[in-house]
Amino acid sequence: MNLMNRKNMQLLSGNHAVSWAARLCRPDVAPLYPITPQTPILEKITEFHAEGLMKTELLTPESEHSAMAACISASLTGARVFTATSSQGLLLQHELLHYATGARAAIVMCNVNRTPASPWGFWPDQLDSLSQRDTGWVQFYSESPQESLDSVIMAFAIAESVGVPTMVCHDAFYVSHSMEPVEIPDQAMVDDFLPKFDPARKLDTAVGASFGAPLDQNTWRRSRMDLAESLAAVTDETIRVGEAWGKLTGRSYGPLERYRCDDAEMVIVTMGSMCGTVRDAVDTMRENGKRVGLLKVRQFRPLPASMLRDALAGVPVVMVLDRNYSPGTGGILHQELKAVLSGMADGPKVHGLLAGIGGANVSSETIDRWVRDYQNAEPKPESQWVE
Amino acid sequence: MNKPQSPLWTNSTSEARKTGTWRSALPDYQNIPSPCLGACPVDGEIATWLRQVTQIDHYGAWLTLMENNPFPAIAGRICHHPCQTACNRVQLDETVGICSLERFVGDKAITEGWSIPKPEVERTESIAIIGGGPAGLSAAYQLRRRGYQVTIYESREQLGGLLRYGIPAYRLDNSIVDAEVGRITDLGVKVHLGVEIMNSAALAKLKEDYSAVFLATGASRPKALPGLDYSQPYVQDSADFLAITNGGKTCELGENLLVIGGGSAAMDVARTARRLGRHVTVLTLESDENLPAQRTEVDEAREENVEFICGAMLKDVNSTKDGLILTCARVDFQPGAAKGQFTTTQIEGSEFELRVDAIIPAIGQDADLARWQDVVPGDKGLIDTDQSWRTQTEGIFAAGDVASMARFVTEAVGQAKHAAVAIARYVSPDEAKDPPPLLAEAKFNVINTAYHSPDARHNQENLKVEVRLQSFDEVQIALSAEQAIAEAGRCFSCGTCIDCDNCYLYCPDMAISKLEGGGYVVNLDFCKGCGLCVAECPTGSIHMQEDLPS
């Protein structure tokens, strides 16, 4: 099938796909600060804005920290807010990421996963966003430009429904700068899918209500219980929104994706662009009679724990590929998955591989080799450096 | 979903949030002594009355001054003002001119004819005061205003003692003395003038007749300079010289006078003689920098062409028909540990001659103790007293120069005030009140100088030298009302709340309320102990203290 023959198909990089998604979602406010490799998102949005195609209040503050501060304030007034950043920019926002969640600001942000300094680099690595895993932001990891576009639109639906900020992450260059044919949904369809943001509470000088007063201990605790309750609802919301989007576009999404996992003797678990390579390797191995599958973790936060247990129940061996290294711990997905699977009666053996750290290339042949190496090995608690 | 997020939003007040539960320290409003108060010989509430001056409440300022000292106009002219030495403001620019402001208020009271409020109660207990100088009058005032029956026995024809007979008019005019002393006698103090309590028997009789006796005869006997023949017509002691000239009589001495001594009395003699047209040389044992007189007195004496020979002593006097030929010698002067103590060593071969017509020694005065030795023993030239100015004989008290070497007018006034309190406790123990506890002084570092702009002192002007030497007019020209208000406004009010509202305005929890009639109160439910009020207090009158469970 020639994809370009389909309606509204354009050859887009992952970053420009995100810019398109932002345009379609009609954010009221978009504070942005440039950083490699996120900058094309900003540039495309400013182009749209200059051409009168986006009626968004664009803010260009002096830092990512200020950008996020503006996001929070704008969101609390009831504005739909979009922003994008990467690596150092995200890390600079750290304290405000916590603040945004506590404030229940339904911001959507695209983070382009890039190695955090030092050493200096611009390479695909997910440590920047994974190390924000305790901030309460919902995190989706995208495999492709099309998924990034779809994910941003769905992220607004989820964030505004649940009342929590949401991050769509895609890998530097592998997704951000790689181009593929991307279907751009109709504006009318998106408008219908994503009605105007209208939260129950808004900062408004005409309304006698304020935000930000200190809470006493018990009330603070209660606000965290409320947050936990909202986050617990995210997984179902991801499913509901993903199915709804599927009905409109033919592209359904869920928190996880099981690819050729039935009867698999080994399931490879990973996130982001690595999923594409694994998908290709799985196909080759299946052709060669190896029973290997892929479990793509799309929603990393909140971690869909029960779904993960269900997805891996009865699988003998799991191999986690982490494109991140948490110093002193190992692969973050590896650690989290072990915790989730702990205590399962029929739980799998879990291997953790530090694969493609710093953007090092991982080919489908390499994955085939790792499968052979680890299929019958005894798992170690520590993540293993592999190449 | 849009679940209501009630805890995060506030649509009423935040009073439900008792931020006071966070507190580990609590601000406390407590006026603490300013350094000037600590230094003041009469414990004057200086910060308070300076504030009243800025508020153009001159009567209030005067009443505050009068609480501790019945002589603001006098002290404002002659006090050695240790308050200014202690003033915190020197660390910003210059000390506050407290003394000139005291004079301003004191003069205002005289001009306006303000009188001392009558005692609220009349008491039957009677007190005899021997000596009508600064100490005797101060005690009389403090006792009479408390309602006691006070009688002063003064050996001279008029009250005032040193104030009247020892200080020349160009520093303190007798009209000022008359006004401030008159106010005290107007309170209903009985006065016997020209009466001397000559001996122990007379003193013992007074003790029988009165509930208590206060001795305040000062130091009236001149110290004698060894080797100088006081019987010669060319020798006149300083006290006699000043009493004669202050009384308006002329000086019978010659044209060229030698004054011996470096204290205030010597300066008074020298400058008086200059006004009488004499040529004056002052000879002092002390080196220039160690002269015991106030520095302004020395400076003004020099301005008036008084010649100084410091660090030298008189060795011999040779009287000739053309005048006196004095043999003098240079000395090495070393001050001792205590005031008035020193050692001198003559420098060999340093003799020199002076030619003068007369010599006026002004080397200090001793108390006359011998006459009462049987009743109130004394040692080292002073009547023995304890800290409450009680002599060894019950019911007899003594203060001022007769009992202390702190030979300043205001020291005597302050001592007499304390003695009066002790006398009151003695004669009516039921009325006694314990003095308030002593608190630490407000240091410069508690002052928030952001609220005090640098501003040079508004100084009193002096008469021009050529005008001064033509008369006994006062040298120092009083501040104008505008100058006084501006100068009083320079006071930091160290440790004293000025109701500026900074604490009230800056409190982030709105935990401070204003009290009717002044002052503030902290709402413990909401004060979280941040200390912002303390930091923003311009006067250091709020203090953080540990918030201990009650």
Q: What residue ranges do the domains of chain B occupy?
A: 14-31+497-546, 35-115+441-488, 126-220+367-427, 224-362
Amino acid B304: pLDDT:
96
Task: Answer yes or no: same fold for A3-248 and A256-385.
Answer: yes
Report the SS3 class of residue B520.
Answer: strand
Q: Which of B8, B10, B14 sits opposite A104 (nearest CB)?
A: B8
Q: Which of A103, A162, A222 sits opposite B1 (nearest CB)?
A: A162
Rounded distance between C-alpha atoms, residue B183 and residue B65, angstroms: 14
pLDDT in tens, B24-40: 999 999 889 999 999 99
B35-115+441-488 has CATH 1.20.970.10 classification: no
Q: Closest by alpha carbon to B420, among B78, B62, B114, B125?
A: B125
Residues 180-219 of A with CB under 8 A from B: 199-201, 207-211, 213-216, 219
Read off the tokens for B452.
Answer: 């005090």
Q: Which of B1, B9, B18 sits opposite A201 (nearest CB)?
A: B9
In this complex, is the C-beta atom of A380 within 8 Å of any C-beta atom belonging to chain B? no
Question: What are the boundaries of each domain within chain A?
Answer: 3-248, 256-385
Q: Which of A163, A216, A222 sits opposite B1 (nearest CB)?
A: A163
Angle at A345 between CA A344 and CA A346, to 5 degrees: 90
B126-220+367-427 has CATH 2.40.30.200 classification: no
Interface ipTM: 0.73
In this complex, is the C-beta atom of B10 within 8 Å of any C-beta atom belonging to chain A? yes
Q: Please, where are the H alpha helices in chain A?
A: 14-25, 39-50, 64-76, 87-92, 94-102, 127-130, 145-162, 187-193, 217-232, 234-249, 274-287, 305-312, 332-341, 364-374
Amino acid A4: pLDDT:
55
Query: Span A256-385: which CATH code?
Result: 3.40.50.920
Task: Answer yes or no: same fold for B126-220+367-427 and B224-362.
Answer: yes
Query: Span A3-248: which CATH code?
Result: 3.40.50.970
Please tell me the distance in Å from A201's CA to the nearest CA on chain B.
8
pLDDT in tens, B282-341: 999 999 988 989 899 999 999 999 999 999 999 999 999 889 999 999 999 888 887 777
The second-level CATH assignment, the architecture, of B14-31+497-546 is 2-Layer Sandwich (3.30)
Q: Which fold has domain B224-362?
A: FAD/NAD(P)-binding domain (3.50.50)
In this complex, is the C-beta atom of B510 within 8 Å of any C-beta atom belonging to chain A? no
pLDDT in tens, B440-495: 899 999 999 999 999 999 999 999 999 999 999 999 999 999 999 999 999 999 99
pTM of the model: 0.70
The owner of tokens 């023993």 is B377
Amino acid B248: pLDDT:
78
Asked whether residue B223 carries a pLDDT value surpassing 60, the answer given is: yes
Residues 20-49 of B with CB under 8 A from A: 21
Q: Closest by alpha carbon to B326, among B228, B398, B400, B249?
A: B228
pLDDT in tens, B491-524: 999 999 999 999 999 999 999 999 999 999 999 9
Q: Which of B5, B11, B17 sits opposite A163 (nearest CB)?
A: B5
Relative to beta strand B520-522, strand B512-514 is antiparallel
Residues 121-180 of A with CB under 8 A from B: 161-163
Read off the tokens for B455.
Answer: 């501003």
Contact by Cβ (8 Å): B119, B144: yes
Please tell me the distance in Å from B543's CA to the nearest CA on chain A.
26
Please tell me the distance in Å from A153's CA to the nearest CA on chain B.
18
Ranges in chain A, pLDDT < 70 = 1-6
Q: Is A70 exposed, middle or buried (0-12, 13-18, 19+ CB in 10 A)?
A: buried
Read off the tokens for B55.
Answer: 């508020």
